[in-house]
């Protein structure tokens, strides 16, 4: 029988007005990969924050037993001393510092007033090699991509002598190739005896990598599933535990689809990199989207999808932007800045809801009205009653789970934050909505609700552009699909004619220059 490395007994954690964890029990065997799954707000991250000391001893009830000893962690340093290291979904790296500096930040080599830089970089290079990253540890973080940054975080954890590695949504910002490489790296660490806990919404990845799967719902442990069988546990089986019901169809059907005239058309659209003007990030792209249509844009990470959307949205990305744009058949020149794009009826729902989309320290009410303050103000004075009424209307319409629209957005789950972000742009009453990774980092139940909102937007006559790294999502939600690679559109097809195999074949063929 395998040794129990970690046992969390009867963990209860309360926030004002909310019981986030309710008598949770959780066991992890030594040398296994244990997946923790559940909907947003189910309590997964809260449980791991209790384990790692982010929520210190005394702020929760219950016991943490690690390597047979009851632990009372007062901060994250206490848990790291015992080899429990957590890697959060939002990467905690300083862009202007080197890889080596980041890896040993707060854990410096040398004496208090004298850092041993030779040791720092030689040790860092050793751990980078262990995770399969060939970059020099003297490279700046800002000069490497997201996939490599995720590997730096893992190397940083190894440098802390991790015995139990906790990975919170480690592939949420990675493309399929980088995601699979990271999962295979986890499997190689398991062979070397490391124990890992992974939190993920990508159930295919959970089935691929996990030995054991614990389902959490509404702050309580529902069940623990053994994934050692000859066939991996099905996604449908996991979903039933997460949402308390079976979901036979991941994508809601579009009823009575009516597609009208062309709303947005861009021709020969070219965008240059803001720091390296000689480099084209979008190269001669032409596209159109019609009223009531959902148009998907799929491409691997770095294909230029976000750059295309942001450049259309008031030139908020890029330099030397050229090409033509028509809205409702009329040539327009949108000035630089979001304000002019909004005036032309264009909205952009960013992929980075926490960094660029929402003000986390402000209420749902304030965030909902941000893009259309004119509608709730007079003589530059905001009518707070009208602002409240608008926020409450969208809370009901989008079924945002919150006790009040006065709730701070930063306290909401990812899925509910995404609904507030959509509400913000829906209130601006756009004709064209550019949705960039609208379901990133949210669970299957919340995804379904976002899909219903997208369908409602199309049914209301909005033109929707859906950018996603999840190919099943693009196939399941789009009427038409553009395929993008290395800054260019390399294919276009109707959704009913498209398959994952066809789309990937087009991308691979274009990458070989055929």
Q: What is the mean pLDDT of the chain?
A: 88
User: Which residues have C-beta within 8 Å of that of residue 236, sequence separation ≥ 6?
Assistant: 246, 247
Q: pLDDT, tens digit, for every residue of 168-180?
A: 888 876 777 778 8
Give the count of alpha carbons within 13 A of 211, CB side only: 17
Question: Can you list the positions of beta strands (E) in 334-479?
Answer: 346-349, 377-378, 381-382, 432-436, 463-467
Q: pLDDT, tens digit, for every residue of 348-394?
A: 999 888 878 899 899 999 999 998 888 889 888 998 999 999 999 99
The answer on pLDDT for 4 being more than 70 is yes
Q: pLDDT, tens digit, for every residue of 451-462?
A: 999 999 999 999
Q: pLDDT, tens digit, for every residue of 406-428?
A: 999 988 888 889 999 999 999 99
More confident position, 198 or 241: 198
Residue pair 221/23 in contact (Cβ under 8 Å)? The answer is no
Does CATH place domain 4-243 in 3.40.50.300? yes
User: What pLDDT score does 248 carry?
Assistant: 61
User: What pLDDT score does 246 carry?
Assistant: 61
Mean of pLDDT values over 131-146? 86
Q: Which helix (H) or strand (E) element contains residue 394?
A: helix 384-398
Which of 483, 510, 484, 507 is CA-nearest to residue 494?
A: 483
Backbone φ/ψ region at 380: left (φ over 0), alpha (ψ -120 to 50), beta? left
DSSP string over 66-130: ETTEEE--SSHHHHHHTTEEEE-SS----TTSBHHHHHTTTS-SEETTEE-HHHHHHHHHHHHHH
The answer on pLDDT for 1 being more than 70 is no
Judged by average pLDDT, the poorest of 25-29, 111-115, 135-139, 402-406 is: 111-115
Q: What is the pTM of this model?
A: 0.67
For the chain, residues classed under CATH 3.40.50.300 are 4-243, 249-345+430-514
Q: Which residues in 407-436 are b (16+ Cβ under 10 Å) and which e?
A: bebeebbbbbbbbbbbbbbbbbebbbbbbb
Mean of pLDDT values over 198-223? 89
Q: What proportion of the chain, given as a percentage, has pLDDT over 90?
A: 51
Q: Which helix (H) or strand (E) element contains residue 475?
A: helix 471-477
Q: pLDDT, tens digit, for every residue of 50-73?
A: 999 999 999 999 999 999 999 999
The answer on pLDDT for 477 being more than 90 is yes
The alpha carbon of residue 288 and the mean position of all alpha carbons in its chain are separated, in whole angstroms, by 27
Which of 422, 419, 415 is CA-nearest to residue 464?
A: 422
CA dist., res. 6 & res. 50, Å (int): 13
User: Which residues have C-beta within 8 Å of that of residue 288, sequence separation ≥ 6?
Assistant: 262, 264, 265, 266
CATH topology of domain 249-345+430-514: Rossmann fold (3.40.50)
Q: pLDDT, tens digit, for every residue of 275-294?
A: 888 889 999 999 999 999 99
Residue pair 317/311 in contact (Cβ under 8 Å)? The answer is yes
The alpha carbon of residue 102 and the mean position of all alpha carbons in its chain are separated, in whole angstroms, by 22
The answer on pLDDT for 247 being more than 80 is no
Helix 146-159 vs helix 117-130: crossing angle, to nearest 10: 110
The alpha carbon dihedral of 66, 67, 70, 74 has a sign of negative
């Amino acid at each position: 029988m395998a040794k129990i490395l970690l046992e969390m007994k009867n963990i209860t954690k309360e926030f004002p007005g909310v019981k986030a964890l309710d008598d949770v029990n959780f066991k992890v065997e030594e040398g296994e990969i244990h997946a923790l799954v559940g909907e947003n707000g189910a309590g997964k991250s809260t449980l791991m924050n209790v384990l790692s000391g982010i929520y210190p001893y005394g702020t929760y009830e219950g016991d943490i037993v690690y390597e047979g000893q009851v632990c009372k962690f007062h901060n994250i340093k206490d848990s790291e001393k015992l080899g429990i290291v957590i890697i959060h979904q939002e990467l905690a790296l300083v862009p202007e510092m080197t890889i080596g500096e980041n890896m040993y930040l707060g854990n410096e080599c040398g004496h208090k007033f004298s850092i041993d830089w030779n040791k720092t970089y030689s040790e860092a290079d050793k751990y980078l090699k262990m995770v399969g990253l060939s970059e020099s540890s003297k490279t700046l973080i800002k000069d490497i991509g997201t996939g490599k940054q995720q590997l730096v975080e893992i190397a940083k954890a190894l440098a802390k002598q991790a015995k139990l590695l906790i990975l919170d949504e480690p592939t949420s910002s990675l493309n399929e190739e980088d995601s699979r490489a990271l999962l295979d790296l986890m499997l190689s660490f398991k062979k070397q005896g490391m124990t890992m806990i992974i939190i993920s919404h990508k159930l295919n990845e959970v089935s691929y990598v996990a030995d054991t799967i614990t389902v959490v719902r509404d702050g309580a442990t529902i069940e623990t599933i053994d994934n050692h069988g000859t066939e991996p546990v099905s996604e449908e089986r996991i979903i039933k535990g997460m949402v308390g019901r079976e979901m036979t169809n991941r994508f809601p059907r579009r009823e009575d689809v009516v597609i009208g005239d062309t709303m947005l058309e861009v021709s020969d659209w070219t965008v240059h990199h803001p720091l390296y003007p000689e480099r084209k990030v979008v190269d001669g792209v032409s596209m159109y989207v019609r009223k009531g249509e959902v148009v998907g844009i799929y491409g691997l990470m770095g294909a230029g999808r976000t750059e295309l959307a942001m450049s259309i949205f008031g030139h908020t990305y890029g330099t030397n932007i050229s090409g033509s744009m028509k809205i409702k058949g009329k040539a327009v020149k949108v000035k630089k800045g979001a304000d002019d794009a909004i005036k032309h009826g264009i909205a952009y729902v960013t992929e980075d809801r926490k960094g660029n989309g929402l003000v986390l320290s402000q209420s749902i009410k304030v965030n909902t009205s941000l893009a259309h303050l004119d509608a709730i103000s007079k003589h530059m004075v905001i009518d707070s009653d009208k602002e409240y009424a608008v926020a409450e209307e969208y809370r009901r319409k989008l079924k945002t789970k919150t006790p009040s629209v006065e709730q701070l957005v930063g306290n909401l789950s990812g899925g509910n934050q995404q609904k507030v972000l959509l509400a913000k742009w829906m209130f601006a009453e756009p004709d064209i909505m550019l949705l960039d990774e609208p379901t990133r980092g949210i669970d299957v139940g919340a995804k379904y609700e976002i899909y219903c909102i997208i369908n409602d937007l199309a049914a209301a006559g909005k033109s929707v552009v859906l950018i996603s790294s999840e190919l099943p999502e693009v196939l399941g939600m789009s009427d038409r699909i553009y395929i993008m690679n290395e800054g260019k559109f390399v294919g276009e097809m109707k959704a009913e004619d498209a398959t994952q195999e066809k789309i990937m074949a087009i991308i691979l063929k274009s990458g070989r220059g055929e």
